[in-house]
Structure 1
Amino acid sequence: MRFTCRKLFLGATIFLGTGIWTSLEAYGPLGYEIVGAIADERLANTPTGAKVSALLDSLTLEKASVIADEIKGWDKKGVDNPRSFHYSAHRKLDAELHDFWRANQPTHDANSAAPSHHWFHYTDVPVIPPQRYGDGRAGRSQSDIVHMIPYCIRVLQGLIAEQNDRKITKPVALILLAHYVGDIHQPLHVGAEYFTPDGHVADPDRDSSAVGDEGGNSFTLELSDEPPRRRGVHKKKLHGFWDYDAVNAIFSQLPIRLRKSELQALIEPLKKELVHDMAMQEPKNWRMSSNLLVENYAEA
Structure 2
Amino acid sequence: MKKLACALALGAAFVSTNALAWGNDGHRIVGSIADQLIKGSYAEKQVRALLLPGESLEKVASWMDCVKGTYCGPQTTEMTDYTAANPKHSEYHYTDVPFQLDEYHDHGVGTEEHDIVQSLRQAIWVLQGKDGAAVNPHKFTKRQALLLLTHLAGDVHQPLHVGSAFISKEGVFVVPLKQEQIDGVNIFNPQGGNNMLLDDDKINASGTALIPAAPPKEGEAAKPAGEAKPGPKTKPFHSYWDTTVVDYAMRRVSARTPEQFAQIAIAGKPAVAANTGDPASWPYQWANDALVVAKAAHADVTVGPAGKQTSRNGTVYTVWQLNVPDNYPVPSSAIAKEQLVKGGYHLASLLQAIWPEPAAK
Would you say same fold, with TM above 0.5? yes
**Residue of structure 2 aligned with 1:203, choices 175, 185, 207:** 175
Aligned to 1:294: 329
Query: In 2, Cα distance between the equivalents of 1:119 and 1:103?
Result: 14
Residue 120 of structure 1 is matched in structure 2 by 92
**1 CA distance for matches of 2:148 and 2:106?**
27
Aligned to 2:193: 216
**Which residue of structure 1 aligns with residue 108 of structure 2?**
137
The structure with the largest strand share of the pair is 2
Is the CA contact (8 Å cut-off) linking 2:32 and 2:58 kept in structure 1?
Answer: yes
**C-alpha deviation, 1:117, in angstroms:** 0.8
Q: Does 1:56 find its partner at 2:51? A: yes
What is aligned with 1:235? 234
- Residue of 275, 279, 300 corresponding to 2:262: 275
Distance 2:103 2:331 in 1: 32
Q: Is it true that 1:184 corresponds to 2:156 in the alignment? A: yes
Among the aligned pairs, what percent are the same residue?
30
Does residue 35 of the first structure (1) align with residue 4 of the second (2)? no
Task: State the alpha-carbon separation in 2 of the partners of residues 47 and 214 from structure 1.
Answer: 40
What is the CA distance between 1:202 and its match in structure 2?
3.6
Match of 2:80 among 98, 101, 109: 98
Could you say what secondary structure the match of 2:67 adopts?
Answer: helix
| Equivalent residues, number | 233
- Aligned AA (1:121): H
Q: Residue type of the partner of 1:267?
A: R
Q: 1:53 to 1:177 in 2, by over 3 A?
A: same
Structure 2 CA distance for partners of 1:40 and 1:204, relative to 1, 3 Å: same
CA shift in 2, pair 1:217/1:254, >3 Å:
same
Q: Secondary structure at the match of 2:122?
A: helix
| Distance 1:179-1:203 versus aligned 2 partners, 3 A rule | same
**Distance in 1 between residues matched to 2:127 and 2:106, nearest whole Å:** 30
Q: 1:52: how far off?
A: 0.6
**Cα drift, residue 86 of structure 1:** 3.1
Distance 1:212 1:85, change over 3 A: same
Q: Are 1:65 and 1:179, in contact at CA under 8 Å, matched by a contact in 2?
A: yes
1: CA distance between counterparts of 2:92 and 2:115?
A: 5
Q: 1:125 touches 1:138 (CA, 8 Å); kept in 2? A: yes
Q: 1:45 aligns with which of 18, 22, 40?
A: 40
Moved more, 43-52 or 23-32: 23-32
Instruction: Select 1:284's aligned residue among 272, 286, 301.
Output: 272
Distance 1:160-1:197 versus aligned 2 partners, 3 A rule:
farther
- Tell me the distance in 1 between the aligned counterparts of 2:264 and 2:229: 37
How far, CA to CA, are the matches of 1:146 and 1:24 in structure 2?
A: 21
CA distance in 1, matches of 2:194, 2:52: 35
In 2, Cα distance between equivalents of 1:39 and 1:27 = 16
* RMSD across aligned positions (CA): 3.5
TM-score (norm 1): 0.66
Matches within 5 A, 1:148-167: 148-160=119-131, 165-167=137-139
C-alpha spacing 1:136/1:202, structure 2 compared with 1 (3 Å): farther
Matched to 1:126, the amino acid is: P
Q: TM-score scaled by structure 2?
A: 0.56
Change in Cα spacing, 1:24 to 1:167, as seen in structure 2 (3 Å) is: farther
- Could you say if the C-alpha distance between residues 99 and 135 of structure 1 is closer, same or farther in structure 2, counting changes exceeding 3 Å? closer
Partner of 2:146: 174
Change (3 A) 1:234 1:156: same
Q: Distance in 1 between matches of 2:169 and 2:253?
A: 42
- Structure 2's unaligned 5+ residue stretches are 1-17, 206-225, 275-295, 297-326, 334-361
The AA in structure 2 aligned to 1:99 is D
SS of 2:105 mapped into structure 1 = helix
Alpha-carbon distance change, 164 to 134 in structure 1, aligned in 2, over 3 angstroms:
closer
